[in-house]
Amino acid sequence: MKTANKLKIVNDPIYGFITIPNGVIFELIEHPYFQRLRRITQMGMSYLVYPGAHHTRFHHAIGAMFLMQKAVHVLRLKGVEINKEEEEALCIAILLHDMGHGPFSHAMENSIIENVSHEEISLQFMELLNKKFNNRLTLAISIFKNQHDRKFFHQLISGQLDMDRLDYLRRDSFYTGVSEGWVNSERLITMLNVHDDSLVVEEKGIYSVEKFIVARRLMYWQVYLHKTGIVAEQLLMRVLKRAKELTDQGVSLPASEALSFFLKNDITKENLTESVLDRFSKLDDYDVVAAMKSWMASEDFVLRNLSEMLINRELLKIKMKKKPISSEKIAEKRKQLSKKHNLSEAEASYFVFTGDIYNQAYRMDKDTINLLTKSGKVVDVAKASDQLNLKALSKTVVKYYLCYPKSNY
Amino acid sequence: MKTANKLKIVNDPIYGFITIPNGVIFELIEHPYFQRLRRITQMGMSYLVYPGAHHTRFHHAIGAMFLMQKAVHVLRLKGVEINKEEEEALCIAILLHDMGHGPFSHAMENSIIENVSHEEISLQFMELLNKKFNNRLTLAISIFKNQHDRKFFHQLISGQLDMDRLDYLRRDSFYTGVSEGWVNSERLITMLNVHDDSLVVEEKGIYSVEKFIVARRLMYWQVYLHKTGIVAEQLLMRVLKRAKELTDQGVSLPASEALSFFLKNDITKENLTESVLDRFSKLDDYDVVAAMKSWMASEDFVLRNLSEMLINRELLKIKMKKKPISSEKIAEKRKQLSKKHNLSEAEASYFVFTGDIYNQAYRMDKDTINLLTKSGKVVDVAKASDQLNLKALSKTVVKYYLCYPKSNY
Amino acid sequence: MKTANKLKIVNDPIYGFITIPNGVIFELIEHPYFQRLRRITQMGMSYLVYPGAHHTRFHHAIGAMFLMQKAVHVLRLKGVEINKEEEEALCIAILLHDMGHGPFSHAMENSIIENVSHEEISLQFMELLNKKFNNRLTLAISIFKNQHDRKFFHQLISGQLDMDRLDYLRRDSFYTGVSEGWVNSERLITMLNVHDDSLVVEEKGIYSVEKFIVARRLMYWQVYLHKTGIVAEQLLMRVLKRAKELTDQGVSLPASEALSFFLKNDITKENLTESVLDRFSKLDDYDVVAAMKSWMASEDFVLRNLSEMLINRELLKIKMKKKPISSEKIAEKRKQLSKKHNLSEAEASYFVFTGDIYNQAYRMDKDTINLLTKSGKVVDVAKASDQLNLKALSKTVVKYYLCYPKSNY
Amino acid sequence: MKTANKLKIVNDPIYGFITIPNGVIFELIEHPYFQRLRRITQMGMSYLVYPGAHHTRFHHAIGAMFLMQKAVHVLRLKGVEINKEEEEALCIAILLHDMGHGPFSHAMENSIIENVSHEEISLQFMELLNKKFNNRLTLAISIFKNQHDRKFFHQLISGQLDMDRLDYLRRDSFYTGVSEGWVNSERLITMLNVHDDSLVVEEKGIYSVEKFIVARRLMYWQVYLHKTGIVAEQLLMRVLKRAKELTDQGVSLPASEALSFFLKNDITKENLTESVLDRFSKLDDYDVVAAMKSWMASEDFVLRNLSEMLINRELLKIKMKKKPISSEKIAEKRKQLSKKHNLSEAEASYFVFTGDIYNQAYRMDKDTINLLTKSGKVVDVAKASDQLNLKALSKTVVKYYLCYPKSNY
């Protein structure tokens, strides 16, 4: 970040120059809580599949804020009134929307922190920062919580065509090099409008919206749910789970102070105090990788092997199926492994496991993307499409996977 | 074109350097018949809508040849045997496939030449060149005519995933700046294979194929069938039709020798002799624009006004409808115009007319795009898609338009 | 061009969406004089070398206007006051700056119109349009003529870092595919400022300016002064010169009315009346190509052969030298050709000729690019550069060429 | 990395698909020593300035190998014989050339490891791997050490136009978004040739080489030597130096096993045994960041504050000067700080220090970039350039900086 003409400017390979407004937004970005996002990769361990995908939550948050500035500009040109204070609140809300992500974005959510989503933690952070910043985040928080009258404010933050998605799809496509997932975010924004305080897309944007949905679907199957990526993410959650299990059993594991805290304590919505939040703010990818590197010398077979697999990229095999994997098959594979390495069934289950992945390219049940026709009617894009069966895309597709060690293991 | 290291190299903003093989291919490109394609715009009068779209059939043909080289390279890597002679024939066939296009690509086909497609004229040109080049085009012609045993040869020239489409979609998207239509041609080619002498796409390419079809659809509605583009193309066909009509009535119109010939003679499949072909080879965009510019001074109201509209870009209005336009409405508009300018109904029909446009994003009846599954089965992509309803995309969508003069006319 | 939200928007493959302001600018673009620029290629016959280079003066003018909008926006952000009327005038001036270009941009300037630069003709057109538009172009004209107090207004139109150059270098690099010539126009604009009513670049922009100058130099030698491009341009000027010569001798040549007028009349600054201007406005690339195509059947050896060379791209050979070509060498080659085809020496000189090309990457004598240092001093970039010897780049480099027919001619 | 058609393919946002050859190259990439490069950022802490710059040595090494494959392909087309074994050796040498980089690429070289360059460590790693891989790296090592007869082999690995530079300039420009630094690596490679076993560039490539040198210069001043980047890198070296100092004094600091080893031991060329190398192979960015995070709680004022500065991006101020900073000025600033925080002068010197940075855009003393003229002569590009004074660019430019705490510190 550098100062140019008194304006703070960030260089973005995707959008070019991004201008950081002076004032509270600049100060929020400077805050250690936000700087921490530089140490959280956007796409978890996907870089084991796509070596370019090392971009961070920090960069994504700033990119999404840039798109928000664009959206406000476009809507104003079309006569939608948005005052300075509201613009700032929208920018703050999108900037901070991902603050609650832990290491590798999603690794903790299903391993050592139970039943607390990253959105909830983001909200806690906003509340905390609101105190530190003399209530200057109050409006942003009400938008984030969808408690503001003007419904489209929240839709710009969270919806099927929000600035979050418009940035991350574009950014993830850029950094992975999966160019088919490319989304023309700026053009989509150009076609936004507001009708009855709800976000709509101009009718002529129908093909662009269709293509956006298809590109998003492609990104899911080809990138976010890439086989090898799933293995890596599952291993990451399991290594943390195992570490917590061992800690619960009284084993003392090398780990940073912040990580140790979360291994030793069960955090739920109820005990997510400010002090817990402060510890959370010290936790990032580096704690987890550093821990795994030391756990490669652990006495525990499971912890040691899982850590090695991730650090050296010697992952499990994975098979994808359209139907659930039979419990017999799993049991058999586990038995083989138990025998070979003298493991309990519980231990073997860390290396042989099944799961499902699913994706719904478009939701028709809520928050639909609506078109504004020239005659002033509002129609769900899935209904307006003359040909492309978006309804079909609203079906949830499920696939099942089976992970197990390579034969030489 | 410049000589580099004894190789002829063409600079392409899209693919970078394209190498022109020495020998017959180089000589064909040097031939005046092929050089003429430099004077045929790829997208007709679409540049009146997209000012960047001035690229030519010449450039497209060379681009498609480049993709053919890529495809041959990829298929060989996968063990498909293609000998040097076959490679050359494939390159020749794709290079010459568009040679039969007249001015503005499609303007004549439905105005002054009746019932002869550009493919047939391309074929005639190939036969003629085959004589001039000592039968060195024989294999290319048999591929072009789909008379070669190895079916995939023809599929690379003409099919739902041929090198023609892969180039023109990419190129048209590039030059119009409609980036949503962008197609990753090189990547799609990487996923081609051959099974039972038919072209197939590897299973994992399914999302890329889906996206290709959706991008193609978007290009149709947003670019090829753009409202203003339709008006321009219709006006262009009508100006030529009117010129022929007046010529038939004995009016002498300024026109180049080549254009005059086609205004004076009715060309059909039957009388498409070599001498006619040679005259055709002298006809390009420049004859038509130059003629229209002189016709702006014509005494004929219709010819004069249509020419002015195109040259000065003062086009008719156009309305799009999902249902056919009623004949009453058309009659009424024509009557108004007749009265205002003292025109016959026939004359008025040049300015008030209707028509339909249609698009079928994917055909299921023939030449389907087939996937090769890992287990070795071949499946139509429309059936393999787990979710995106490609079947729906195989429905032909029709829209109706009504053109008529602006109120100040 | 299409209407979006009541705003006219043009799709540009380079900058994305360009918004056309309503009012006089929109009307000027709609005017036939401006629409004519759609039929003038930006780079003359360079498409014979770079097949993608078919972009037009129309597109360039609109692109340069877009950059002007950017520049105004940036300068205002930095506190430079520019009112609405001035902004409009700047946009008009840049939009119309190239209106005086004839067919193929430069072909006529040194062949059939003598001693009248395209800038002068542009100015005449502006004056004429000023009458038609009720003096709404007066301010634009004073800027164009450098008669406005605020010197930087003119520098934005015409200078070593003007919007004209920033667009054409970028655009020509884009369409030729010569990516090394790529110039980051938007970024350079970001670093502009105004000091004492003169345009300056912020100090930190020094490396970008250096790179801009080097890229421009590369474009000159690699593209604008490409050997084959020079041959084509020289042939084009000679074909027109020959046509005028023959016309002067009383030969009647087929040509459009507009072209005939300029072949028959000697136009100078003195007789450049409104009626001459109106005829000029009817002249474009199409008149010239159409004429050459008919001249391929001319009885005159010179006219026929020059026309064929250009239409069929069978150009002369060209050799480049660092020293002037000796007159003996030229005489000898001419004699050979005269003998072979029974030509007079004057006729032979159409096919054997010499000339020089030169380029000065940066001028230090006037209109230098100035940097504004942090301490508020203004320094010529050539003097500020710590290392890159820009002074050396201000030397004019001359090369000499010799053109002559291929041996089989 | 995924298997496609039995070929391993890596997706690169820059070059598209990169094919990994089967055999020893694939196995080397899979080796933990090479996988470690995924945890070494290419540009150190530059991401504190350019948030997109998180790309790794792993990605760079694979990209450079891709360019090597291109270069081999181009040279063979031009008749340079390179056999399969030599190709593999070239790919191995470029792949492993950066293996010796420690955390953040350069942080250790000038802090805790003295007088051992990363090239020497790379070589040690190659020798070690050569043993593990049954001497299959012998040829690669002789090329790397410049002991092979064919001089151009080494020049492709290390020279002023080697595959290393061609990749890193392009890649760093891409990820930082500093598009002016963009280098057309593929095109430069197209113009390579070999003459007398030395690498040369074809004459017509002169402008491209010039532009390459200017782009490289720009990247130095704008990116690699960016003010804020320098501060960050200096702080990083100082935090490690302080940690070593404290360790030497007997203070026990939290650190990973690998990092502790290097804090406790003085490593020189002489004692760089295999066991030391193995420990080095366990050291990466994560050890250092994790350590700094724990050191934020250190009792030592210096270590604590330096760590905080880097982790929270609250860096020192920096001033750049053309002349060395006077020792009085430094002493004064140190005194102020000592007083304020009760520090020794030695301690204060961690926060107030000076240094110099320099860059030489082109070297004329050795390994010049040579052009091969059409007449077969070989000329140093700096002498061949008709105008751009490359000689000037061979001067070393030095700048001096002064770092000190912000006033609120």
The ipTM (two decimal places) reads: 0.94
CB D99 within 8 A of CB D108: no
Nearest CA distance, A232 vs chain D (angstrom): 13
pLDDT at residue D59 in the model: 97
Pairwise CA distance, residues B233 & B249, whole Å: 24
A215 and A234 assigned to the same domain: no
Q: How many helices (H) and strands (E) does chain C have?
A: 19, 10
Residue D332 confidence class, pLDDT cut points 50, 70, 90: very high
pLDDT at residue A97 in the model: 96
A209 and A244 assigned to the same domain: no
CB contact under 8 Å between C387 and D208, yes or no, is no
Per-residue pLDDT tens over the stretch C72-117:
999 998 899 999 999 999 999 999 999 999 999 888 877 778 788 8
Last residue of a domain, one of A169, A195, A225: A225
Interfacial B residues in 245-304 facing C (CB < 8 Å):
256-258, 282, 285-287, 289-290, 293-294, 297
pLDDT at residue B389 in the model: 67
- What does each C-alpha distance from C289 to B217, C165, C294 come to in angstroms? 36, 28, 9
Nearest CA in chain A to D45: A38
Residues in chain A with CB shorter than 8 Å from the CB of C204 are 4
Identify whether D390 is part of a domain. no
Interfacial A residues in 334-363 facing B (CB < 8 Å):
361
Lowest mean pLDDT among A365-369, B302-306, C324-328: A365-369
Nearest CA in chain D to B11: D187
pLDDT at residue B1 in the model: 35
Strands C16-20 and C317-321 come out as: unpaired
- Within an 8 Å CB–CB cutoff, is residue C407 touching chain A? no
Per-residue pLDDT tens over the stretch D374-389:
888 999 988 887 666 6
Task: Give which of D8, D54, D313 to mutate to test A binding, by max A Cβ within 10 Å.
Answer: D54
Interfacial A residues in 361-400 facing D (CB < 8 Å):
none
Element holding C216 (H helix, E strand): helix C206-219
Identify whether B178 is part of a domain. yes
Residues in chain D with CB shorter than 8 Å from the CB of B193 are 5
pLDDT at residue D386 in the model: 67
* Whether the predicted pLDDT of B289 surpasses 70: yes
pLDDT at residue D1 in the model: 35
Element holding B199 (H helix, E strand): strand B198-202
Per-residue pLDDT tens over the stretch D212-244:
988 898 899 889 999 999 999 999 999 999 999
Per-residue pLDDT tens over the stretch C24-69:
999 999 999 999 999 999 999 999 999 999 999 999 999 999 999 9
Structure tokens at D64: 């450079």
Instruction: For chain A, give the mean pLDDT.
Output: 92
Nearest to A207 among B221, B388, B389 (CB): B221
Identify whether C254 is part of a domain. no
A41 and A136 assigned to the same domain: yes
Interfacial B residues in 158-197 facing C (CB < 8 Å):
174-178
B257 and B325 assigned to the same domain: yes
Query: What CATH code is carried by the domain that includes residue A322?
Result: 1.20.1250.30
∠ CA C330-C334-C337, rounded to 5°: 145
Residue D3 confidence class, pLDDT cut points 50, 70, 90: very low
DSSP E strands, B37-177: none
Residue C182 confidence class, pLDDT cut points 50, 70, 90: confident
Mean per-residue pLDDT, C274-299: 96
CB contact under 8 Å between C187 and A16, yes or no, is yes
pTM over 0.90: no
Per-residue pLDDT tens over the stretch C106-118:
888 777 787 888 9
Task: Give which of C43, C293, C307, C309 to mutate to test B binding, by max B Cβ within 10 Å.
Answer: C293
Identify whether C137 is part of a domain. yes
Structure tokens at C333: 């080659």
Closest CA to A289 of B190, C256, D38, B76: D38
B160 and B44 assigned to the same domain: yes
Task: Give which of A211, A220, A221 to mutate to test B binding, by max B Cβ within 10 Å.
Answer: A211
Instruction: For chain B, give the mean pLDDT.
Output: 92
Q: Chains B, C: CB contacts under 8 A, how many?
A: 117
Last residue of a domain, one of B340, B357, B374: B357
Identify whether B369 is part of a domain. no
Nearest CA distance, D76 vs chain B (angstrom): 12
Identify whether A241 is part of a domain. yes
Identify whether C105 is part of a domain. yes
What is the number of structural domains in chain D? 1
Residue A1 confidence class, pLDDT cut points 50, 70, 90: very low
Mean per-residue pLDDT, C247-263: 96
* Whether the predicted pLDDT of B157 surpasses 90: yes
Coil/strand/helix, residue B223: helix
pLDDT at residue C13 in the model: 94
Mean per-residue pLDDT, A220-239: 94
Residues in chain B with CB shorter than 8 Å from the CB of D201 are none
Task: Give which of D11, D189, D190 to mutate to test B binding, by max B Cβ within 10 Å.
Answer: D190
**Which of residues C264 and D204 earns the better pLDDT score?**
C264
Element holding A33 (H helix, E strand): helix A32-35
Pairwise CA distance, residues B7 & B26, whole Å: 10
Closest CA to A149 of A95, A89, A78, A94: A89
Residue C7 confidence class, pLDDT cut points 50, 70, 90: low
Beta carbons within 10 angstroms of residue C264's beta carbon: 11
Q: Chains A, D: CB contacts under 8 A, how many?
A: 117
Kindly give, in sequence order, each residue whose CB lies less than 8 Å from that of residue B162, ignoring residues fewer than 6 positions away: B155, B156
Kindly give, in sequence order, each residue whose CB lies less than 8 Å from that of residue A147, ignoring residues fewer than 6 positions away: none
Nearest to D52 among A12, A285, A313 (CB): A12
pLDDT at residue B391 in the model: 76
Interfacial B residues in 51-80 facing D (CB < 8 Å):
77-78
Strands D16-20 and D192-195 come out as: unpaired
pLDDT at residue D2 in the model: 36
Closest CA to D354 of D381, D319, D398: D319
* Whether the predicted pLDDT of A110 surpasses 80: no
pLDDT at residue D394 in the model: 82
Strand partners, D4: D7
Last residue of a domain, one of B204, B226, B248: B226
Residues in chain C with CB shorter than 8 Å from the CB of A187 are 16-17
pLDDT at residue C360 in the model: 86
pLDDT at residue D72 in the model: 96
CB A53 within 8 A of CB A47: yes
To the nearest 10°, report the CA torsion of A42, A179, C185, C217.
120
Identify whether D84 is part of a domain. yes
Count CA atoms closer than 13 A to D203's CA, side-chain side. 10
Instruction: For chain D, give the mean pLDDT.
Output: 92
Nearest CA in chain C to D207: C218
Element holding A113 (H helix, E strand): none
Task: Give which of C311, C317, C319, C406 to mutate to test B binding, by max B Cβ within 10 Å.
Answer: C311
Nearest to A186 among C16, C187, C202 (CB): C16
Residue A389 confidence class, pLDDT cut points 50, 70, 90: low
CB contact under 8 Å between B180 and A208, yes or no, is yes
Residues in chain B with CB shorter than 8 Å from the CB of C51 are 1, 10-12, 38, 56, 58-59, 62
DSSP-derived letter for residue A220 is: I
pLDDT at residue D337 in the model: 96
Nearest CA distance, B175 vs chain C (angstrom): 6
Query: What CATH code is carried by the domain that includes residue D120?
Result: 1.10.3210.10
What length is written for chain C?
409
Q: What share of chain D has pLDDT > 90, as a percent?
A: 74
Closest CA to C289 of B31, B286, B291: B286
Mean per-residue pLDDT, C237-257: 96
pLDDT at residue C28 in the model: 97
* Whether the predicted pLDDT of D6 surpasses 60: no
Residues in chain B with CB shorter than 8 Å from the CB of A218 are 207-208, 210-211
Residue C150 confidence class, pLDDT cut points 50, 70, 90: very high
B157 and B37 assigned to the same domain: yes
Structural domain of residue B204, as residue ranges?
Answer: 2-226
